[in-house]
Amino acid sequence: CLFYYNYSNFPPLLPLFVSSSFLFSHSNALFTMRAGSTLLLFLTAFALSRAKRRKCAEGTMSEGAIVSATMANYTKMLPESEESVKVHIEMHVQDMGSLNEISSDFEIDILFTQLWHDSALSFGHLAACKKNITMESRFLNQIWTPNTCLINSKKTMIHASPTDNIMFILYENGTVWVNHRLSVKAPCDLDLRRFPFDVQRCRIIFESYSHNSEEVELVWMDVPITFIHYIQLPDFDMVEFKTFKRNLMYPNGQWDQLEVEFTFKRRYGFYIIQAYVPTYLTIIVSWVSFCMEPKALPARTTVGISSLLALTFQFGNILKNLPRVSYVKAMDVWMLGCISFVFGTMLELAFVCYITRCQNSSRWGKRSERRPAASAARPMRNGGVGSRRQVHLDDETTTLPMMNGSINGNGGVHNGNGSCRDGTMTARSMHEVIHPTSSPSPIHFHMNTYDSSTPLSIDQLHSNGIEISSSQYPSHRRPSPTPGCFMRFHPESVDKFSIVCFPLAFTLFNLIYWWHYLSKTFEENFSMPVDAFPPSAPH
């Protein structure tokens, strides 16, 4: 660059540079001489081409003179035309940022090009040495522009690296070519009903902010959208784009709008690994409780509660990265279905525990009924009846405290006062038997038929005509349970049924779920124009 600058301003320095380069290379090596010769040829060719490009023929106007002459009589007004001014627009996509579900927008870097004709800027009538002039961006403030804007963008920024990235070319017939390098944050119309198998569409809309369709007409170029490379976002693939032209009616007229719609298809592989596979494992772990003993209540409860908490945590972790929408998403259906299956295992556990408790109570009652009466009867002191008796009352077992005494041959029970009523114990006498008074005189029974040394059972009392009504005294024993409708089930049978029924129901749920959501995904067909991508870009 230093050589070119010196040569452009001082051509006589070229022989000096050649001789010094030759001497330097000759004094070192042949390789250095060849390298110096190659560099010399390159710099010479570059300098000649640069000089040729800048040189104008004699009698022609330079760029500065052309710009000065053109802008001298120019008025910044709408170009005169019988029809509205046609503004041709195209967009070259450089890159795209991630699509944000929370804010419902996406970021895109584009080269935005506008092309229109302004006869007042033509310089073909001048003796110009060039047919087009590249001008500085500051001249845009001095000419008329259609004031095209991105009407729906949330934020638009012109890149400055280090100066504003704006290109302005003026052609001799008055055609203006303006290009901006923009960074745009545009909105997206999110529909998350099929999340994470959803397809989202984002739009960019161009519109003249100052001129209606009677003054400015916006039209797409032949190839409206082009890409540097195939766009792949972290969570999405851009599968399609479409361009539209619409007319929008405002209170003060009708405006032209050019719209480009980008279609993004979500990559659901991340959610398969992070959401679906863990829930499968959690559901399978919850079924382990069916293989445990029905009496292992703490272990089975721990497995069920842990599975339920794991699913709830996973569900909350997914929802925090999504907007709060009122409709049901595909992920909601899946997570709520899995939580329902885990909750079903908890209900099955509660049912098994209830059956186990009922069966334990039933066994206790049967053991009480089958207890031999002789085990409750004890030998009496002084030839009396044992201190406790086992009496069957209306299919209930009652242990009665008995004082020393005897029974007469007629089956009557004689107390201390010698009262009896045809061998039937009255309520009062029953109360005295169960709750003896503190009378110092003991109660005596006289028995003529039985030996006082032989333990006497209640069956023998019944054989002698003694009847005791259970309604006349309070029961001192826990009442035996009444068999319910669930007594015919066994805990082991319920677990065996559940270990088959739950997997089958979950399999049916999977078939319906995946068929419903994936079938719609496979039915959608998207197409991308081939001419929108460079030949080397995959699409």
Q: What is the pLDDT of residues 313-368, one digit of tens each?
A: 988 888 888 888 889 999 999 999 999 999 999 999 888 888 877 776 655 555 55
Cα–Cα distance measured from residue 51 to residue 29, given in angstroms and rounded to the nearest whole number:
33
pLDDT of residue 389: 43
Specify the pairing of strand 388-393 against strand 396-401: antiparallel
Q: How many domains in the chain?
A: 4
Q: What is the pLDDT of residues 25-80, one digit of tens each?
A: 344 443 343 444 444 444 445 554 454 455 666 667 788 888 888 888 888 899 88
Cα–Cα distance measured from residue 314 to residue 317, given in angstroms and rounded to the nearest whole number:
5
pLDDT at residue 252 above 90?
no
Query: Is residue 313, in this structure, part of any structural domain at all?
Result: yes
Residues 260 and 293 in one domain: no
pLDDT of residue 462: 54
Question: Residue 432 in 3-state DSSP?
Answer: helix
Residues 39 and 184 in one domain: no
Tell me which H or E stretch contains 87.
strand 85-100
How far, CA to CA in Å, does 356 sit from each of 260, 334, 364, 479?
68, 33, 12, 18
Query: Is residue 530, in this structure, part of any structural domain at all?
Result: no
- Lookup result for tokens 């503004």: 87
pLDDT at residue 377 above 80?
no
Residues 117 and 197 in one domain: yes
Report the CATH number at residue 195.
2.70.170.10
Contact 442, 416 (CB under 8 A): yes
Query: Is residue 480, in this structure, part of any structural domain at all?
Result: no
pLDDT of residue 65: 86
Residues 440 and 498 in one domain: no
Residues 119 and 204 in one domain: yes
Cα–Cα distance measured from residue 507 to residue 501, given in angstroms and rounded to the nearest whole number:
10
pLDDT of residue 431: 45
Report the CATH number at residue 336.
1.20.58.390
CA atoms within 13 A on the CB side of 300: 22
- Extended strands (E) in 103-235: 105-117, 132-135, 148-150, 155-158, 166-171, 175-189, 199-208, 216-227
Contact 62, 56 (CB under 8 A): yes
pLDDT of residue 331: 93
Which residues are CB-neighbours of 348 under 8 A, at least 6 positions away? 290, 494, 495, 498
Angle (deg, nearest 10), helices 13-28 and 2-9:
140
Residues 84 and 18 in one domain: no
What band does 520 get if pLDDT is binned at 50, 70 and 90?
Answer: confident
Indicate if the alpha-carbon torsion angle 451, 456, 459, 462 is positive or negative.
Answer: positive
Residues 162 and 103 in one domain: yes
Q: How many CB atoms neighbour CB 390 within 10 A? A: 20
Q: 7 lies in which domain range?
A: 2-54
- Which of 472, 503, 532 delimits the end of a domain? 472
CA atoms within 13 A on the CB side of 313: 9
CA atoms within 13 A on the CB side of 308: 14
Average pLDDT, integer, range 436-455: 46
Contact 479, 401 (CB under 8 A): no
pLDDT at residue 402 above 50?
no
Q: What is the pLDDT of residues 448-507, one digit of tens each?
A: 444 545 555 555 555 555 554 444 444 444 444 444 555 567 878 888 899 999 999 999
pLDDT of residue 442: 43
Tell me which H or E stretch contains 92.
strand 85-100
Query: Is residue 358, in this structure, part of any structural domain at all?
Result: yes
Residues 144 and 254 in one domain: yes
Contact 200, 267 (CB under 8 A): no
Average pLDDT, integer, range 284-301: 87
Query: Is residue 6, in this structure, part of any structural domain at all?
Result: yes
Residues 107 and 124 in one domain: yes
Residues 356 and 382 in one domain: no
- Which of 211, 240, 267 delimits the end of a domain? 267
Average pLDDT, integer, range 77-84: 87
Cα of 212 vs its chain's centroid, Å: 44
Residues 42 and 122 in one domain: no
Cα–Cα distance measured from residue 353 to residue 356, given in angstroms and rounded to the nearest whole number:
5
pLDDT at residue 413 above 50?
no
Cα–Cα distance measured from residue 29 to residue 27, given in angstroms and rounded to the nearest whole number:
6
Average pLDDT, the chain: 74
- Most distant pair of Cα atoms in the chain: their distance: 163
How far, CA to CA in Å, does 118 sit from each of 122, 144, 223?
7, 8, 23
Residues 144 and 251 in one domain: yes
